[in-house]
Structure 1
Amino acid sequence: MNAKIDNYDQKILGLLQQDARISHAEIGRQIHLSQPSVSERIKRLESSGVIRGYHANINPDAFGYQITAMIRLSTQQGRPYADFVATQPEIIDCYTVTGEDGAVMRVLATDVAHLQRLIDKLNRYGSTSTAIVLTTHVAGKAVSMPVA
């Protein structure tokens, strides 16, 4: 991806990250561009892969999830955990990482027993270490240009 992102694009991306349902006309009003200009910029950002999609932010409580946990999975080389985690709805993020752990994942569970069942399944792929999230200080922060 080699998209040039100027100040207008940065403002558009910031507004879309705050509210993906904001109209192109409203974006134009806020950043002082015409609606057609905003629409063209958004199309370019989408086609270049800068904007990868638009998503609803769902409250896990609505599905009965009372626990958020981070699970580290130490795996032996070649263990196929990736296929398994992709099929589990409770595993909402999974990253292959450097260091002693092969993967770090964020999971949701309805209760401790549900979390234990998920950990038991993951233990087939290696050893796990689990931390239950008590408080979230930052989540879903908007992506912006690096400050150098």
Structure 2
Amino acid sequence: MDDVDRTIIAHLSQDARISLAVLARRMKVARSTIQARLERLETTGVIAGYTIRLGETARTSRIRASVLLAIEPRSQAGILSRLKAIAQIERIHTTSGRIDLLLHLSTNSTAELDEVLDRISVIEGVRSLESLVHLSTRLDRAV
């Protein structure tokens, strides 16, 4: 990846719907150059897909939480397969330190959140669970 590729990615991170023509004009390069670069970035897996990022207005009706899990040694594979089946879990990260997994959840209500937490807590190999309900977003630099 060079500076042109990084600039393309930066523009797409701000607006994934930007047209090739507009992107080419902003970058002062040929449209065919942008198209070839995008195809290469997609083929090599640098760009895995295009998506939307919901604004605060769309997220305010959702209950969001982070869940910290400590798990039994050598139980991660089984736990991950069970967690992936829970639709309300948006992201799962492995971590270092006393916590083994960090989950990001989004539900329609506190009752639904409570039900999901109960489902997670009874998965074989889960030693402890701590949930942190998100109240408001003060900064979001996620791409």
TM-score normalised by length of structure 1: 0.83
1:92 to 90, 93, 96: 90
Gap runs ≥5 in structure 2:
none
- CA distance in 2 between partners of 1:135 and 1:63 (Å): 10
Percent of aligned pairs with the same amino acid: 25
The amino acid that maps onto 1:86 is K
- CA distance in 1 between partners of 2:72 and 2:140 (Å): 31
**Paired residue total:** 138
Give how far 1:58 is off.
Answer: 4.3
Residue equivalent to 1:135: 136
RMSD: 2.1
1:20 is the counterpart of 2:16: yes
- CA distance in 1 between partners of 2:4 and 2:48 (Å): 18
Residue equivalent to 2:120: 122
- CA distance in 2 between partners of 1:85 and 1:12 (Å): 35
User: 3-state DSSP class of the match of 1:100?
Assistant: coil
Say if 1:68 and 1:132, in contact at 8 Å, map to a contact too.
yes
Residue equivalent to 2:100: 102
1:1-148 equivalences under 5 Å are: 5-58=1-54, 66-79=62-75, 80-125=78-123, 126=126, 127-139=128-140, 141-142=142-143
- CA distance in 1 between partners of 2:113 and 2:141 (Å): 23
TM-score normalised by length of structure 2: 0.86
